[in-house]
Amino acid sequence: MKTITQLKTLRNILCPLKRTGKIIGLVPTMGALHEGHCSLMRKARRECDIVIISIFVNPKQFGPQEDFDRYPRQKKKDELLAQKENVDIIWHPSVDQIYKKDFLTYVEVERLSGLLCGKSRPGHFKGVTTIVTKLLNETTPDILYLGQKDGQQALILKKMITDLDFNVKVKICPTIREKDGLALSSRNAFLTEQQRRESPILYQALQHAKKDILSGERNAQRIIKKIRAMITKTTSCTIDYVVCVDKETLSPLKNIVGSVMIALAVKFGNVRLIDNILLKV
């Protein structure tokens, strides 16, 4: 396994591999690797000749009052975990390498980026699509591996890749959870003991909603109201949103029908957590 910090070095390694037809898989991350990332690495390892993970805490997707400075950085631990999962290359550029002083170019998916998380985190998805565009250009993968936990992000990136004709296949993999249902996230480490005890209700509420829908409930507002009630009754968190939307367009649904995503975002103090489930009705 090689950790590479310079783009010229990365390209010198990858160009000959591409010429010989090696299949390259990319798992983009911000580090602080956990089992969710590992599941993506394992899938990439099964399907690709060369597995690359990127580790880059992207300042462009953090707002002024968000947690960029305290976002966990654990280079040595991440390298050991990636090595254990048989990753071939860690692409670990510096901020100056990615965003030079005169950087002026951004990529943005309109409409989708302003919904859900985009409402409370303006500019966030513009930062995500810009960095992923750069990562795709730098690593030239055949397959991009993403997690369903970041459902809106995955949809936006798929749309960007389609619209801009990137020659890469996108694979969205299932959310990996703790035993009590909490979706794995690097930010979970910031929860207090009390907040961590409360947090499983997020997935429990989504599962109750799924059960109600499978039992015949089709009114989206009743589903949303019940999820909100379950969360507010048993936790100290603040709800950002709870929605029932079309899985492909993120358009809000009055009646639950078709391919549906039920998604939520909450804040435990300064810690923002998201989750979602998918249904076909």
pTM here is: 0.96
Is 181 part of a structural domain of the chain?
no
The closest alpha carbon to 242, from 253, 67, 135, belongs to 253
Q: Could you tell me the two tokens for 40?
A: 């993506």
Question: pLDDT (tens digit, 0 to 9) for every residue of the chain, 281 residues total?
Answer: 999 999 999 999 999 999 999 999 999 999 999 999 999 999 999 999 999 999 999 999 999 888 899 899 999 999 999 999 999 999 999 999 999 999 999 999 999 999 999 999 999 999 999 999 999 999 999 999 999 999 999 999 999 999 999 999 999 999 999 999 999 999 999 999 999 999 999 999 999 999 999 999 999 999 999 999 999 999 999 999 999 999 999 999 999 999 999 999 999 999 999 999 999 99
Is 203 part of a structural domain of the chain?
yes
pLDDT at 64: 87
Q: Supply φ then ψ for residue 163, to 5 degrees.
A: -65, -35
Q: Let me know whether 152 and 249 are in one domain.
A: no
Q: Let me know whether 154 and 224 are in one domain.
A: no
Q: Let me know whether 253 and 124 are in one domain.
A: no
Residue-number span of the structural domain to which 133 is assigned: 2-173
Residues in the chain: 281
Give residue 211's Cα distance to chain centre: 25
Q: Let me know whether 26 and 111 are in one domain.
A: yes
Q: Supply φ then ψ for residue 99, to 5 degrees.
A: -120, 95
What residues contact 51, with CB distance under 8 A and at least 6 apart?
24, 25, 27, 41, 44, 45, 85, 86, 87, 88, 89
Distance between CA 91 and CA 83 in Å, rounded? Answer: 13
Residue with tokens 């993999």: 173
Secondary element (H or E) of residue 29: strand 24-29
Is 178 part of a structural domain of the chain?
no
Q: Let me know whether 22 and 92 are in one domain.
A: yes
What's 83's domain CATH number?
3.40.50.620
Q: Let me know whether 135 and 249 are in one domain.
A: no
User: Residue 261 is which amino acid?
Assistant: M
Picking from 173, 202, 222, the residue at the C-terminal end of a domain is 173
The closest alpha carbon to 250, from 260, 258, 242, belongs to 260
Picking from 134, 151, 173, the residue at the C-terminal end of a domain is 173
Sign (positive or negative) of CA dihedral 131, 137, 138, 139: positive
Q: Let me know whether 32 and 147 are in one domain.
A: yes
Q: Could you tell me the two tokens for 79?
A: 């390298």
- Any idea which residues carry the catalytic annotation? 37
